[in-house]
Amino acid sequence: MALIIKMPLEIENYSLDFSARLGAGETITLVSVTSVNMATGASSTSEIVAVTPAATVSGTEVIFWYQGGVVGEEHIITVEVTTSLGRTLEETVDLAVREEEQ
């Protein structure tokens, strides 16, 4: 599982490549990106996953934007895709919010 380390004010993008999990000719037709605060188990999607710009598909990659968070928090971001064959695939990324070291 990948790890993103960010500062609270950063807004950045991240891409996940699903090519190894897609069959010949299979495409990504739908994307959902959510997040959960690891300490509380509560949804943190509205805090961590940026709505604008929205998650997009570029070939076999999903590109999403992340934002916000409080120093010391850790979140699990889940990217769920539906494919042209009706399959549902899921990948997760850990996100840790840290303050820049002096």
**Is the CATH code 2.60.40.10 the one for domain 2-97?**
no
Domain spans of the chain, in order of start: 2-97
Please report the pLDDT score of residue 72 as a whole number: 97
The pTM assigned to this predicted structure is 0.93
pLDDT digits (tens, 9 = 90+) for 18-77: 999 999 999 999 999 999 999 999 999 999 999 999 999 999 999 999 999 999 999 999
Residue 77 confidence (pLDDT): 98
* Cβ-defined contacts of 83-92 (< 8 Å, 24+): 83/22, 83/26, 83/27, 83/28, 83/29, 84/25, 84/26, 84/27, 84/28, 84/29, 85/23, 85/26, 87/26, 89/18, 89/21, 89/22, 91/16, 91/18, 92/1
Confidence band for 100, pLDDT divided at 50, 70 and 90? confident
